[in-house]
Amino acid sequence: MTDNTKKATFAGGCFWCMVKPFDQWDGVHRVVSGYTGGSLENPSYEDVKAGNTGHHEAVEITFDPNMIAYEDIVEIYWQQIDPTDDDGQFQDRGESYRAVIFYHDQEQKVIAERSKQALASSKKFTKPIVTPILPAVPFYPAEDYHQDFYKKNKQEYQNDRAKSGRDEFIEKYYES
C-alpha cells in the first residue's frame, strides 16, 4: 500500500454481502467488515446483534484514489443496497442493518450528497432515497471469522445471499 490511500465506509445490511462487490476492483487494497456509528467501544458481534449499541454492520474500504475514484466507489455502493429502505436491508432488519454512507472528509460528503441527489433525480425508484450521509466515527473491525466470509465460507455465503433477495433487487434496479 502507498501513503496515498484513503478510506471509504459504508453500511449496507449484512457486511458479508458488502465485501465482495468492492474487493474485486483494481485500486481497492482492503475491505474490512466491522461496526461503526454506535456508542460502545470495541463492540462484539453479540453486542451489535443485541441492538443496543447503535452500531451498524459496515465495511471499511482502503483504496488508492489514483486507481479508483471515490465517485466510482459510491456508485458501486448504491448498486448493492435498497436506498429506499430505512429499516434494514433485504432479509436483515433493524438499526444495525440500516444503509449509511459515512464520509471521511468534506470532499467525500459533497460527492456522496451529489450522488444521492443524482440517484433521486434518476426516478429509478418511486419511493424517496432515505440512506443517510453521516460523518465517519470510529470503526471497529469485526471478529476474524467475519472477514472475507465470502471466500472462507463460500457455501454459507451463497446460501445466505440467495435467501436475502439482494441479487433479485440488484438485477431489477441496476442490471435491467
Report pLDDT for 176. 62
The catalytically annotated residue of 8, 11, 14, 18 is 14
Beta strands in 1-159 (DSSP E): 6-11, 28-36, 56-63, 88-89, 92-93, 100-103, 133-135, 139-141
Across the chain, mean pLDDT equals 95
Which CATH fold would you assign to the domain 6-174? Answer: Peptide Methionine Sulfoxide Reductase; Chain A (3.30.1060)
Any catalytic annotation for residue 14?
Answer: yes
What's the pLDDT score for residue 43?
Answer: 97
For residue 1, what pLDDT is reported? 45
Mean of the pLDDT values across residues 81-97? 95
> pLDDT tens for residues 99-125?
999 999 999 999 999 999 999 999 999
Q: Which of 36, 40, 30, 28 is nearest to 73 (CA)?
A: 28
Say yes or no to pLDDT of 88 above 80.
yes
- For range 122-141, the mean pLDDT: 97
pLDDT at 142 (0 to 100):
97
Model confidence pLDDT, tens digit, residues 67-83: 999 999 999 999 999 99
Q: How far is CA 56 from the centre of its chain?
A: 10
Q: pLDDT tens, 13-43?
A: 999 999 999 999 999 999 999 999 999 999 9
Q: Which three cell numbers stand for residue 142?
A: 469485526
Res. 129: pLDDT tops 70: yes
